Amino acid sequence: MTETIGFIGLGIMGRPMAHNLLKAGYRLVVHNRSRAPVDELVAAGAVAAWSPREVAERSEVVITMLPDSPDVELVALGPDGLIEGAHAGLIYVDMSTIAPAVAVRVAQALAEKGVRCLDAPVSGGDVGAQQGTLSIMVGGDEQTFAQVKPIFDVLGKSAVLCGPNGAGQTVKACNQVLVAVTIAGVSEALVLGAKAGVDPAKIVQVLSGGLARCGVLENRGQRMVQGDFKPGFRIRLHYKDLNIVRQTSRDYGVPLPVTAVVHEMFTTAMSAGRGELDHTGLLTVIEELAGIQART
């Protein structure tokens, strides 16, 4: 492996992803707003950079894993950004979850500098990032996708080219709809059963074996029952994603009535100061509406 990969954004998701790339033998140049994760990666064999521009100058492929659309635009196109360090052959892979329209805009701006771009948001949470089992949905051209595929294979169990730039973010928006609605459904089921006097742990056990089985029950069901809302993916981030979903639905004239209701549940959680909880902490909203605590 000869590529040097630049990695920007070393949070809950980005840090373990960067570690997995190091373990796979890639040379890594890293940058982050806070210094501690950079020092951790440097101790593991990475090289530190002081700006996105420097990352671009020193890398063949740059990956970002950032919180929101404005962060991506700033890192990619802002002062001292990737665009200022662009060079022939550079590939930019944004694995953040952002608005599809922003992904297209960034790709078009960087293309003028000769940079090929992929939007490649992920699903699988912190566990998937740690274990290298993320699901990666990609927007871009086939040639660039094929070139980056070995990197995706380190980070995830599947990577699918969904269409041109922006398509990856569109599919991620669809993913976030389904996950949010599923969390709400699981929460309602647990609270209903608990208020009727059934042990929520038994509900998780039974539902996990039938048609109702799903990733939320499999990966988070027991933790929901135990009241363990240590964040793998925070409520405030899923709330941000649902804002993207609703804007995208308006852009394309697609009504999302169920998503709108769940979005209001996330708004309630945010208003209650629970934005830093795992997104399955939405359960607490249903508990309060029912006047009980569904957990054992």
Model confidence at 142: pLDDT above 80: yes
All CATH 3.40.50.720 domain ranges of the chain, comma separated, are 4-164
Residue 246's pLDDT band (boundaries 50, 70, 90)? very high
- The mean predicted confidence, pLDDT, of the chain is 96
Asked if pLDDT for residue 283 goes beyond 80, the answer is yes
Q: Residue 2 pLDDT more than 80?
A: no
What mean pLDDT comes out for the span 160-167?
Answer: 98
Average the pLDDT over 188-206 and give the result.
96
Instruction: State the span(s) of the chain assigned CATH 1.10.1040.10.
Output: 170-290
pLDDT of residue 35: 93
Q: Give the pLDDT of residue 103.
A: 97
Fold of 170-290: N-(1-d-carboxylethyl)-l-norvaline Dehydrogenase; domain 2 (1.10.1040)
| The pLDDT value given to residue 124 | 87
* pLDDT above 70 (res 252): yes
Task: Say if residues 166 and 98 touch (Cβ distance below 8 Å).
Answer: no
Q: Mean pLDDT throughout 134-149?
A: 98
Instruction: Tell me which fold the domain 4-164 belongs to.
Output: Rossmann fold (3.40.50)
**Which residues are identified as catalytic?**
172
Q: Which tens digit of pLDDT belongs to each residue from 24-78?
A: 999 999 999 999 999 999 999 999 999 999 999 999 999 999 999 999 999 999 9
Residue 282 has pLDDT above 80, yes or no: yes
pLDDT of residue 126: 87
Average pLDDT over residues 82-89: 95
User: Mean of the pLDDT values across residues 242-266?
Assistant: 96
Burial of 269: CB neighbours in 10 Å, binned 0-12, 13-18, 19+: buried
Task: Check residue 296 and give its pLDDT.
Answer: 59
Q: What is the pLDDT of residues 90-111, one digit of tens each?
A: 999 999 999 999 999 999 999 9
